Chains A and B, each alone.
With several copies, the nearest count.
Chain A
């Protein structure tokens, strides 16, 4: 048959000899990803109207072009990127009959050149689900262990050794929840009584020690949100009322510092508030904190905002106010010297890209993602 085809093509081309040469027959190929740039954007799509089919989209923030996609199972939350971007790790959940049958959870490893699954590790079928939270999972600074938050509703953390590709341990964090990596072998969790605990792991990923902080916020009067940002060895926990509790984990200790306020009295009177999903982000190089803000009444801690205010983490002073092209619930800031500020809102498919230094709107990326959540970059 192939031979016959060649004859038939040659004949056809002969027929058209006078006019310019016809198009040549093509071979279908499969694209590969180019070299990663700091402006690559992984945008999680919870796909709320079809969350059995959650996805993570990869865009080039400089062009807005979609580069690829991962299908991430039921209740997708976010990805973990190896520090050297050698792999992408995704906690995924499946049922043998979609909404029924046997529940299986895995941590899948994807290749960063062709986005193909390279392997999976079965993990306890207990992952915390619902509204996505960045702190429902994390990766240690050296990229050795991926940490996955569990809620049954009893809380614990699953530890996966991604180098050995095996599940190591489930560490209970009773009365506490969430995962905030604090080094190569440690992470912190926030607790319902206004404290936090730091868990130290041994080299195998098992529990080595557990340290508890003093109470540093009032969980009833002014709780910190679970949406925190990391600045070096410090995690910034921001309260409903806009107070920043910086906790320094350098050297394996827990150092509490005096909270500082995002809003002065005038701004409070004008009802400025924090709010959204992942409403804050830090650019480490410039030491700047980006916060989505809005004006409104009480219980606005999940409301999207039309403005991002920028703070200098050395002086705690506001240094810029960025009016957004469209309301934002979550933001991300790329890690490079010419950072992008990227916003998403579950009510608006897609993502919006700004110059993080000037606040200039650069482009709006059309969705899907249909109900975007997490925004992450290499």
Chain B
């Protein structure tokens, strides 16, 4: 994850120093969405996508339990307990295109994976299966790695409903 994190802080700082505020805000907005959203689809495609509710073959454990390996840095209500799943929002909720990212180890293959904790937005608190795990969680001045932040950004509203744990790919140490 370091490469991503360094890119983020260095990148944004560099922009900050050389541009006016308005110019900055627009560009960093883009830059950050780019950063956190690299491995994500645009919302439009995401919503259209079939949502694989079942875990993948090489996984084990209960996706509705806070201890499920993917939830290692989650903070919120599990969407799987709210009508969605570990990688799909409940009906009528809108996935956040921007998100925070954790690294969790899959006990089945012993590999570290990048997990994207997209929030589902547009309905108030689901209230079921509240989980708070903080492996690799960072303070909110490192937004891309902070689970305290309401990530309902870039969505129609910032009303938080529940959280997902989406596998983005293998984590590679640098």
Cα–Cα distance between A89 and B171 once the two chains are bound (Å): 45
Cα–Cα distance between A245 and B132 once the two chains are bound (Å): 27
Interface size class of A (residues with CB under 8 A): 35 or more
Q: Which of A125-133, A257-265, A286-294, A331-339 contacts B (4 or more CB under 8 A)?
A: A125-133
Contact A23:B59 (CB < 8 A) given known A68-B83, A224-B139: yes
* Interface residue? B40 (CB, 8 A): yes
Within 8 Å by CB of B111, from A22, A32, A49, A300, lies A22
B115-158 interface bits toward A, Cβ cutoff 8 Å, 1 = contact, 0 = none? 01010101111111000111111111111000011110100111
Question: Does A29 contact B56, Cβ atoms closer than 8 Å?
Answer: no
Cα–Cα distance between A30 and B83 once the two chains are bound (Å): 10
Within 8 Å by CB of A71, from B50, B123, B141, lies B123
Question: Does B92 contact A114, Cβ atoms closer than 8 Å?
Answer: yes
Contact A176:B141 (CB < 8 A) given known A26-B87, A66-B83: yes
Q: Which of A2-10, A158-166, A309-317, A354-362 contacts B (4 or more CB under 8 A)?
A: A2-10
Question: Does A12 contact B172, Cβ atoms closer than 8 Å?
Answer: yes
Question: In the complex, what residues of B have CB within 8 A of residue A133's CB?
Answer: 140, 148
The binding surface of chain B is classed by DSSP as loop
Cα–Cα distance between A330 and B169 once the two chains are bound (Å): 37
Question: Does A302 contact B132, Cβ atoms closer than 8 Å?
Answer: yes
Cα–Cα distance between A8 and B45 once the two chains are bound (Å): 22
Question: Does A151 contact B153, Cβ atoms closer than 8 Å?
Answer: yes
Contact A31:B53 (CB < 8 A) given known A22-B111, A66-B82, A302-B134: yes
A residues 112-143 touching B (CB-CB < 8 Å): 113-116, 128-131, 133
Cα–Cα distance between A110 and B157 once the two chains are bound (Å): 18
Question: In the complex, what residues of A have CB within 8 A of residue B94's CB?
Answer: 30
Question: Does A58 contact B83, Cβ atoms closer than 8 Å?
Answer: yes
* Interface residue? A209 (CB, 8 A): no
Nearest chain A CB to B57 CB, angstrom units: 9
Question: Does B126 contact A69, Cβ atoms closer than 8 Å?
Answer: yes
Within 8 Å by CB of A66, from B21, B40, B128, lies B128
Question: Does A20 contact B149, Cβ atoms closer than 8 Å?
Answer: no
Question: In the complex, what residues of A have CB within 8 A of residue B158's CB?
Answer: 75, 103, 129
Cα–Cα distance between A225 and B91 once the two chains are bound (Å): 36
Cα–Cα distance between A219 and B128 once the two chains are bound (Å): 33
Question: Does A174 contact B47, Cβ atoms closer than 8 Å?
Answer: no
Question: In the complex, what residues of B have CB within 8 A of residue A223's CB?
Answer: 138-139, 142
Question: In the complex, what residues of A have CB within 8 A of residue B51's CB?
Answer: 28-31
Nearest chain A CB to B141 CB, angstrom units: 4
Within 8 Å by CB of A23, from B24, B106, B122, lies B106
Contact A51:B140 (CB < 8 A) given known A28-B95, A220-B2: no
Within 8 Å by CB of A50, from B124, B153, B159, lies B124
Nearest chain A CB to B152 CB, angstrom units: 8
Cα–Cα distance between A226 and B140 once the two chains are bound (Å): 7
Within 8 Å by CB of A70, from B39, B85, B123, lies B123
How many B residues, CB 8 Å from partner?
A: 95
A residues 1-44 touching B (CB-CB < 8 Å): 1-2, 5, 8-9, 11-13, 15-16, 19-33
Nearest chain A CB to B142 CB, angstrom units: 5
Question: In the complex, what residues of B have CB within 8 A of residue A23's CB?
Answer: 56, 58-59, 106, 109, 111, 113, 167
Cα–Cα distance between A65 and B81 once the two chains are bound (Å): 7
* Interface residue? B89 (CB, 8 A): yes
Question: Does B82 contact A100, Cβ atoms closer than 8 Å?
Answer: no
Contact A68:B24 (CB < 8 A) given known A25-B167, A130-B148: no
* Interface residue? A189 (CB, 8 A): yes
* Interface residue? A251 (CB, 8 A): no
Nearest chain A residue, comparing its CB with the CB of B120: A30
Question: In the complex, what residues of B have CB within 8 A of residue A48's CB?
Answer: 125
A residues 295-319 touching B (CB-CB < 8 Å): 298-302
A residues 148-184 touching B (CB-CB < 8 Å): 151-156, 170-172, 174-178
Cα–Cα distance between A60 and B25 once the two chains are bound (Å): 44
Nearest chain A residue, comparing its CB with the CB of B98: A153
* Interface residue? A55 (CB, 8 A): yes
Question: Does B127 contact A370, Cβ atoms closer than 8 Å?
Answer: yes
Nearest chain A residue, comparing its CB with the CB of B33: A153
Question: Does A55 contact B83, Cβ atoms closer than 8 Å?
Answer: no
Cα–Cα distance between A130 and B138 once the two chains are bound (Å): 14
Known: A30-B51, A128-B149. 9 other contacts (CB 8 A): A23-B58, A29-B50, A30-B47, A52-B124, A153-B29, A172-B24, A299-B137, A302-B132, A368-B126
6 A-B pairs with least C-beta separation: A29-B51, A174-B16, A130-B150, A115-B92, A368-B127, A192-B9
- B residues contacting A by CB (< 8 A) are 2, 5, 8-10, 12-13, 15-16, 21, 24-25, 28-29, 32-34, 36, 38-41, 45-47, 49-53, 56, 58-59, 75, 81-85, 87-95, 98, 106, 109-111, 113, 116, 118, 120, 122-128, 132-143, 148-151, 153, 156-161, 164, 166-172
Can you name 6 A-B pairs with beta carbons within 8 Å? A5-B169, A11-B172, A23-B109, A28-B118, A30-B89, A99-B157
